[in-house]
């Protein structure tokens, strides 16, 4: 099997880097911490049998969701995946309502009926997580077509893992998007493993060559660097708003935990040393913190205070969800179909 590399490249068609100002970068750090602490709490809920269903943790990949969503407006659209908590939060979802949904409570975004893999929040432009690999690619492309037909300058972003590169639907909709110059951005979160198989064993050729076959501009970036992700996403978003068509962004990233919470013994498909290298050298939260301190935009005490405040928000949100009631059994057939 080809060995995964931590090295990433940016394609030569990337123009000058689009920067976030220091104040916004502090807020970006807060959001990264929120995603990290939320997922740690989810892990605890699952391991203590307080959460039904499954949990696919986003820990390690936070820079992708945050970097991309920082380039979007509140009325722009996203579609998500089975590993979608980070996308939801990055697009503006409430911690409390997220926890309520995960715990099956009526206060949740889908009245507790969607659970971890089906959260949707139309008010923030989140058209929904999807448990089908690549299943939301058509939804995002349809949203982009809708925006084009209505004459708005809204943009749709479709998050998916590299495993979706084997799904035919993705290529059908990329063909449509390329032909009609739809304002959609396909964001491939390449965390190197299709569940338990390295992507080199399932994906032939260069990933970015695939969208380029449909005349879609493609770029590959370091998915552990939130500033790089934002810069690339912002360029694609600006192009899409100008009517210049779709983009494809491959973000090289890594999940620090297993495919799902029960994936504990991972030695048969990736080594402990590999995991330790990524966590110690490529943690997106730590990388931004170190950069902010090195550039003297803030100090460690201020960053520690941010973490304390975010933890308070997580604790309060969980308390709200814990106290919220379950749906009444009489509504089992309600809100199931549009």
pLDDT at residue 265 tops 90:
no
Query: In the structure, what pLDDT confidence band is assigned to residue 5 with cuts at 50, 70 and 90?
Result: very low
Percent of the chain whose pLDDT exceeds 70 = 95
Q: What's the Cα-to-Cα distance from 336 to each of 84, 233, 307, rounded to whole Å? A: 20, 34, 38
For residue 219, what is the DSSP state?
E
Residue 137's pLDDT band (cuts 50, 70, 90): very high
User: With 0-12 CB in 10 A as exposed, 13-18 as middle and 19+ as buried, what is 211?
Assistant: buried
- CB-based contact 35:285 (threshold 8 Å): no
Q: From the CB of residue 206, how many other CB atoms can be counted at a distance below 10 Å?
A: 12
Confidence bin at 185 (pLDDT 50/70/90): very high
Task: With beta carbons less than 8 A apart as the criterion, state whether 109 and 97 touch.
Answer: yes
Per-residue confidence (pLDDT) for residue 262, from 0 to 100: 83
**How far, in Å, are 26, 71, 132 from residue 93 at the CA level?**
19, 16, 22
Evaluate if residue 86 carries a pLDDT over 90: yes
Evaluate if residue 3 carries a pLDDT over 70: no
Q: What pLDDT, on the 0 to 100 scale, is given for residue 101?
A: 96
Separation CA 45–CA 103 (nearest Å): 9
Q: How far is Cα 124 from Cα 105, in angstroms, rounded to an integer?
A: 20
Residues 44-64: tens digit of each pLDDT: 999 999 999 889 999 999 999
pLDDT in tens, 193-225: 999 999 999 999 999 999 999 999 999 999 999
Torsion from C-alpha of 300, 306, 308, 309, nearest 10 degrees: 160
Q: What pLDDT is recorded for position 267? A: 86
For residue 119, pLDDT over 50 is answered with yes
Instruction: Examine the pLDDT at 14 and tell me if it is beyond 80.
Output: no
- Mean pLDDT, the chain, as a whole number? 93
Q: How far apart are CA 145 and CA 60, in angstroms?
A: 32
């Amino acid at each position: 099997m080809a060995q995964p590399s931590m090295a990433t490249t940016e394609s030569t068609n990337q123009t000058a880097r689009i920067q976030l100002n220091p104040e916004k970068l502090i807020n970006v750090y807060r959001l990264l911490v929120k995603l990290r602490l939320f997922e740690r709490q989810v892990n605890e809920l699952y391991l203590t049998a307080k959460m039904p269903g499954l949990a696919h943790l986003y820990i390690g990949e936070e820079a992708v969701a945050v970097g991309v969503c920082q380039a979007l407006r509140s009325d722009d659209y996203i579609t998500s995946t089975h590993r979608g908590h980070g996308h939801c939060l990055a697009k503006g979802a409430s911690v409390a309502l997220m926890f309520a949904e995960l715990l099956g409570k009526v206060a949740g975004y889908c009245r507790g009926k969607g659970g971890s893999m089906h959260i949707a929040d139309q008010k923030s432009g989140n058209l929904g997580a999807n448990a089908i690999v690549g299943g939301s690619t058509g939804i995002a492309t349809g949203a982009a077509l809708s925006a084009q037909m209505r004459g708005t300058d809204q943009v749709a972003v479709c998050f998916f893992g590299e495993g979706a590169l084997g799904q035919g639907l993705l290529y059908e909709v990329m063909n449509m998007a390329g032909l009609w110059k739809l304002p959609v951005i396909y964001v491939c979160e390449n965390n190197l493993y299709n569940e338990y198989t390295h992507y080199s064993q399932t994906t032939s050729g260069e990933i970015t060559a695939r969208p380029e076959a449909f005349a879609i501009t493609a770029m590959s970036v370091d998915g552990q660097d939130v500033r790089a992700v934002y810069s690339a996403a912002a360029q694609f978003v600006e192009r899409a708003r100008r009517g210049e068509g779709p983009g494809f962004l491959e973000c090289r990233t890594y999940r620090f935990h297993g495919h799902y919470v029960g994936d504990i013994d991972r030695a048969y498909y990736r080594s402990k040393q590999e995991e330790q290298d990524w966590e110690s050298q490529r943690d997106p939260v730590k990388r931004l913190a170190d950069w902010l301190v090195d550039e003297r935009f803030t100090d460690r005490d201020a960053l520690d205070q941010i973490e304390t405040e975010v933890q308070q928000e997580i604790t309060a949100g969980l308390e709200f969800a814990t106290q919220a009631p379950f749906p009444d059994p009489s509504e089992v057939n309600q809100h199931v179909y549009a």
